[in-house]
Amino acid sequence: MKKILIVEDVELNLDLLVQLLEDDYELVSAEDGQVGVELAMSARPDLILMDMSLPVKDGWTATREIKANPDLAHISIIGLSARAMDGDRQKALDGGCDEYITKPVDEDLLLETIKKVLEKP
């Protein structure tokens, strides 16, 4: 079973993601970017769902740190954010995210994106 690390500080958002994914994936979660980076190192997930607005260390910084680590750089990251301004998607992709989805998350789009990213060679 593929393992997904969810880095999300809003409990309601985390609960929704867990309910959506728990039947098909092994889930690990972190409530801030610092813990997210630490869990990426220890849990070695196949995919990270990274909220970009996080306490302690934001998702932008956490993503850059994960992608800069040769042992973790292969882990795919889907950025999640309520920011839907022009350029935000490209900023996330340039910052190391493999995909970027705006909140509120469209469940079908999220599931389709997860499947696509996990199947990528």
51, 13 contact by CB (below 8 A)? yes
What does the chain come to in residues?
A: 121
Q: How far is CA 93 from the centre of its chain?
A: 12
How far apart are alpha carbons 79 and 97 in whole angstroms? 6
Mean pLDDT of 17-21: 97
pLDDT at 88: 85
DSSP 8-state assignment for residue 47: E
pTM of the model: 0.95
* Domains of the chain with CATH codes: 3-119 (3.40.50.2300)
Tens digits of per-residue pLDDT, 43-100?
999 999 999 999 999 999 999 999 999 999 999 999 999 877 778 889 899 999 999 9
DSSP 8-state assignment for residue 73: T
pLDDT at 57: 95
